Chains A and B, each alone.
Chain A
Amino acid sequence: MAAVLIGVLIVAVLAGGVLMWTRSRRRPDGVDSFRRQIDALSADSRRPTIDRMNPTEPPSDDEDGTHGT
Chain B
Amino acid sequence: MVLMARDLAIDLGTANTLVYMKGRGIVLNEPSVIALNRQTGEVLATGREAWQMIGRTPGYIVAVRPLRGGAITDFEITERMIRLLLQRVGVSRFTRPKVVICVPSAITEVERRAVTDAARRAGAADANLIEQPMAAAIGADLPIDEPVGNMVIDIGGGTSETAVISLGGIVALEAVRVGSFDIDAAIQNYVRREHGIAIGERTAEEIKVAIGSADPTPDENQAEVRGRDLMTGLPKTVVLTPEEVRFAIEDVVSSMVASVIRCLSKAPPELSQDFLVRGMYLVGGGGLLRGLAERIERETQVPVRRSNVPLEAVVLGAGHVIEHYEALKGMFMGARR
* A residues at B contact (CB < 8 Å): 33-34, 36-43, 45-46, 48-50, 52-53, 63-69
Q: Judge whether B256 is part of the interface by a CB distance below 8 angstroms.
A: no
CA distance A46 to B142 in the complex (A): 10
| Contact indicator A53/B316 (Cβ below 8 Å) | yes
Q: List 5 A-B contacts (CB under 8 A).
A: A38-B168, A39-B145, A40-B324, A53-B312, A65-B25
| Contact indicator B323/A48 (Cβ below 8 Å) | yes
A41 partner residues in chain B, CB cutoff 8 A: 138, 144-145, 168, 328
B110 partner residues in chain A, CB cutoff 8 A: none
Of all chain A residues, which has the CB nearest B326? A36
B326 partner residues in chain A, CB cutoff 8 A: 36
With both chains docked as a complex, state the minimum distance between the C-beta of A66 and any C-beta of chain B, in angstroms: 5
| Contact indicator B316/A50 (Cβ below 8 Å) | yes
| Contact indicator B327/A36 (Cβ below 8 Å) | yes
Q: Judge whether B143 is part of the interface by a CB distance below 8 angstroms.
A: yes
A69 partner residues in chain B, CB cutoff 8 A: 26, 29, 312
Q: Judge whether B246 is part of the interface by a CB distance below 8 angstroms.
A: no
B309 partner residues in chain A, CB cutoff 8 A: 53
Checking B48, B316, B323, B324 against A68 with a beta-carbon cut-off of 8 angstroms, the contacting residue is: B48
Checking A37, A53, A65 against B331 with a beta-carbon cut-off of 8 angstroms, the contacting residue is: A37
Of all chain A residues, which has the CB nearest B88? A68
| Contact indicator A42/B24 (Cβ below 8 Å) | no
Q: Judge whether B319 is part of the interface by a CB distance below 8 angstroms.
A: yes
Chain B interface extent, by class: 20 to 34
Encode contact with A along B299-333: 1 for CB under 8 Å, 0 otherwise. Answer: 00000000001001000100110011011101100
| Contact indicator A45/B324 (Cβ below 8 Å) | yes
Encode contact with A along B68-80: 1 for CB under 8 Å, 0 otherwise. Answer: 0000000000000
Q: Judge whether B288 is part of the interface by a CB distance below 8 angstroms.
A: no
A63 partner residues in chain B, CB cutoff 8 A: 24
Most buried by B among A40, A41, A53, A64: A41
Of all chain A residues, which has the CB nearest B141? A50
With both chains docked as a complex, state the minimum distance between the C-beta of B164 and any C-beta of chain A, in angstroms: 16
Checking B25, B27, B48, B138 against A53 with a beta-carbon cut-off of 8 angstroms, the contacting residue is: B25
A53 partner residues in chain B, CB cutoff 8 A: 25-26, 309, 312, 316
A49 partner residues in chain B, CB cutoff 8 A: 316, 319-320, 323
With both chains docked as a complex, state the minimum distance between the C-beta of B1 and any C-beta of chain A, in angstroms: 16
B145 partner residues in chain A, CB cutoff 8 A: 38-39, 41-43
Most buried by B among A37, A38, A43, A49: A49
| Contact indicator A33/B330 (Cβ below 8 Å) | yes
Q: Judge whether B139 is part of the interface by a CB distance below 8 angstroms.
A: yes
Of all chain A residues, which has the CB nearest B25? A52
| Contact indicator A66/B25 (Cβ below 8 Å) | yes
